[in-house]
Structure 1
Amino acid sequence: MDRHTGHGRPTRSTRRTFLTASAAATAATVAATVAAGPAAAEEAVVPPGPGHPAKPQQPGRELTALLREVDRARIEATVRRLAAFGTRHTLSSQDDPVRGIGAARDWIYEQLSGYAAASGGRMTVELQSYVQQPATRIPTPTRITNVVATLRGDSSPNRVYVITGHYDSRATDVMDAVSDAPGADDDASGVAVVLELARVLATRRTEATIVLAAVAGEEQNLYGSTYLAKQLKAAGADVQGMFSNDIIGSSTADDGTRDPRSVRLFAEGVPTAETSSEASTRQSVGGENDSPSRQLARFVTDVADNGATGMRVRVIYRRDRYLRGSDHISFLREGWPAGRFTEPAEDFAHQHQDVRVVDGVQYGDLPEFCDFDYITRVARVNGATLWSLAQAPGTPKRVTVVTTNLTNDTTLRWQRGDEPDLAGYEVVWRETTAADWQKVLAVGDVTEVTIALSKDNVFFGVRAVDRDGQRSPVAFPKPGS
């Protein structure tokens, strides 16, 4: 183990640490305050060797208080107000003060600005606009405007986490900018989560930066989120996680069945942006189920699938649903980990339907078909995730597993993070057939470790831990020397 300075801060050593089963207990004492990791998978035998069974991270006092502040009444009021603009179609009026996307834009900006006023200058709000030239579903030059609230982190401001909801809506005909399109479920529900979390987070300090955005142009071709992602890329932001909240308003399927305690989280596997050779290399050493987005999804289940949120997070191993795509795809295209929250089963009879009454039955994406208790619980899932990400260290970088020698040991290396409260690192592993991390071993504040366990038989990962025991998402190692 590394020695510590007289001031109590660990030295930045790259000295190798050798761990065997008998040394596991000694290593664990370096991080005695660190809680265990994600829930162990039931479908596979827990691998042998050093370490302890992985367990979920329990919410602390600050997070518990934050989740209690999420207000169902405010969420319902937001959904109903957005639906009352009649239509929020991207091609609808931008200067009518009562109806259309411009009126909705201005109202969202006013709400976020009011929340930012209580932040002591830490939260800023902007109208992020550009003119989209004629393109798919955009017949004439059209101004696309995102409403973006940024809560700047105190110690790692360049590390960024993003959530979005899209405030544009549509009727059955995606080019119909005139008919009523209330868009309560799709996607006033997602915008309501963004606004409510902006309210509860504005008065709190975070280590990393959180971006809460209501984006436009989603129904036309993800235009707003594409622009937001490119602006963040141009600014050099280190986006380590993004979530789209899209269609999170109802727990009832079109056959009437209900699942009020589950939310789906779509997370892609091997990124489609990888070249064929990169994908082949990843799959040849394993890890096709270990993309950054999948690690982010595992983190969500670790911190938000619990009694504090009242929800079960059902991770879906896909980029998105068939024939559909949401704003997280814009961030995946930039190479960042991202996922999409959406309700457990959709009622297609009320999505993208013109408002009408047939045989006494009203159709359309109206607030009456939303479950506001459900949206509130999804907001808590987002809140638990954002808070836990922004208060923990960043995901370890440049993590490699040494593959130059034939050995039954495993050597891992990584780059040390620069967080001021960084305490050290944990190595996690699981059977190759298991979905979640099963064992965890605290290894201290080092950048290299050798473990008496074969890399041929299990999958390894590395995560950072701070002095309060808060953990980062896991980084999956690439083969190296």
Structure 2
Amino acid sequence: MRTALFLLAGALMSGGCHAEGQPPKPTVAEPTVAEPTVAEPTVAEPRERAPDPELVAALRGHVQVLAGEIGGRGIGPGDAGTSTLDAAAAYLRQQWTAQGYEVHAQAYTVGEQQVENLFVRVPGRSPALVVVGAHYDTCDGNPGADDNASGVAALLELSRRLAATEPERTLHLVAFANEEPPYFKDPQTMGSAVHARALREQGEEVEAMLSLESIGYFSDVRGSQHYPAILAPLYPETGDFVAVVGKNGSRPLVRRVVRGLETHGPIPVESIAAPASITGIDWSDHWSFWREGWAQAVMVTDTATYRNPNYHEMSDLPETLDYRRLALVTEALEATIRELAGS
């Protein structure tokens, strides 16, 4: 793991649907819907171990429903309207209810359409919150297997595994609507912005927030990982790692999450804690928590556009993900979240 900063002139990771300020995609051959770019087979390394096969199957199943059966999920230009977003919300509700949770819905109106954030809680001895979130919408009608069915799948399996815990701090697991443009960074329509503001107004205390943002695409091919040119000599050329991203004020949580992921999993970890003014550092739902004054919020990501040539394309399909490594990341996240919550 490197603790040096990604000083991103052109920016990191996920966020905009070809939005203004989005970095150019890496120079790679454009995939087609018929021939999606599939993650390279895993190459076993000394640190590698087999994940729980039931977890692998469950993650694959969630992604298949969300990205394969439901498909594009959103109400923006190029989307089908609320029908597919509602279908995804119904799936989340059904999964959490089956896990024994009381599912809370935070509905709000965007134009003439109603959308909702969904959340569940594992009560702790303290009301202070450890928030784990993932957005369930997609960009311009694309299937969104990596962005962000992968994060939602991990969220669902984390909630299953954490349901019986008795943490010191309350676990707050939330699926956000409307992360993608044209709603990104709009305080009135972005789901996580609406949610974080409500938590602040209700007097909640957020001790830590993890945004799970595109965590299922990996490659063992040298040259598969891209960066702005100035950074290329400093970081790995192979897209086999997961990144923890925060701003300068997030550094304590970045370190804790990196330490947890490295301790409890074999997947390599890279990190960044840089000025929030650098484009891309805030390109996910953790931004909404920074906006409300909670600096201890970070993004966990596979770096999206800097690795995955299917990013924001119709080729972001379930078969392109590496479910073995997604499961390993999920297992490491579970252990890390347990530590953050004091369970």
TM-score range (shorter-chain normalised) is 0.7 to 0.9
Structure 2 vs 1, CA of residues 163 and 320 (structure 1 numbering), >3 Å: closer, same or farther? farther
Identity value in percent = 31
AA aligned to 2:311 is Q
Give the aligned partner of residue 121 of structure 2: 150
> Secondary structure of 2:198's match?
helix
- Asked if residue 334 in structure 1 is aligned to residue 313 in structure 2, the reply is no
Contact 1:169–1:181, Cα closer than 8 Å, also in 2? yes
Structure 2 vs 1, CA of residues 254 and 331 (structure 1 numbering), >3 Å: closer, same or farther? farther
| Structure (1 or 2) with the greater strand fraction | 1
The correspondence for 1:114, drawn from 87, 90, 98, is: 98
Give the aligned partner of residue 221 of structure 1: 184
State the distance in 1 between where 2:128 and 2:224 align: 42
State the distance in 2 between where 1:304 and 1:347 align: 20
Give the aligned partner of residue 43 of structure 2: none
Give the aligned partner of residue 267 of structure 2: 311
Give the structure-2-normalised TM-score: 0.72
State the distance in 2 between where 1:368 and 1:68 align: 19
Give the aligned partner of residue 377 of structure 1: 328
List alignment gaps of at least 5 residues for structure 2: 5-50, 226-236
Contact 1:320–1:340, Cα closer than 8 Å, also in 2? no
The correspondence for 2:59, drawn from 72, 75, 78, is: 75
State the Cα deviation string for residues 429-466 of structure 1 (Å, max 9, x = none): xxxxxxxxxxxxxxxxxxxxxxxxxxxxxxxxxxxxxx
How far the C-alpha of 1:221 sits from its partner, in A, is 1.4
- Asked if residue 350 in structure 1 is aligned to residue 319 in structure 2, the reply is no
How far the C-alpha of 1:304 sits from its partner, in A, is 2.5
What is the alpha-carbon root mean square deviation over aligned residues?
Answer: 2.8
- Asked if residue 127 in structure 1 is aligned to residue 94 in structure 2, the reply is no
State the distance in 1 between where 2:277 and 2:298 align: 8
Give the structure-1-normalised TM-score: 0.52
Structure 2 vs 1, CA of residues 320 and 110 (structure 1 numbering), >3 Å: closer, same or farther? farther
User: Across the two proteins, how many residue pairs are aligned to each other?
Assistant: 272
- Asked if residue 168 in structure 1 is aligned to residue 121 in structure 2, the reply is no
| Structure (1 or 2) with the greater helix fraction | 2
List alignment gaps of at least 5 residues for structure 1: 1-38, 43-66, 118-122, 133-139, 172-179, 270-290, 356-363, 393-481
Give the aligned partner of residue 162 of structure 2: 201
State the Cα deviation string for residues 142-174 of structure 1 (Å, max 9, x = none): 323111111111x21x11011111110013xxx
> Secondary structure of 2:117's match?
strand
Contact 1:163–1:245, Cα closer than 8 Å, also in 2? yes
Structure 2 vs 1, CA of residues 128 and 69 (structure 1 numbering), >3 Å: closer, same or farther? farther
Structure 2 vs 1, CA of residues 70 and 205 (structure 1 numbering), >3 Å: closer, same or farther? farther
> Secondary structure of 1:108's match?
helix
State the distance in 1 between where 2:299 and 2:214 align: 10
> Secondary structure of 2:133's match?
strand
> Secondary structure of 1:71's match?
helix
Contact 2:62–2:153, Cα closer than 8 Å, also in 1? yes
State the distance in 1 between where 2:272 and 2:174 align: 24
> Secondary structure of 1:387's match?
helix
State the distance in 1 between where 2:311 and 2:240 align: 21
State the distance in 2 between where 1:259 and 1:228 align: 36
Give the aligned partner of residue 325 of structure 1: 283
Give the aligned partner of residue 300 of structure 1: 257
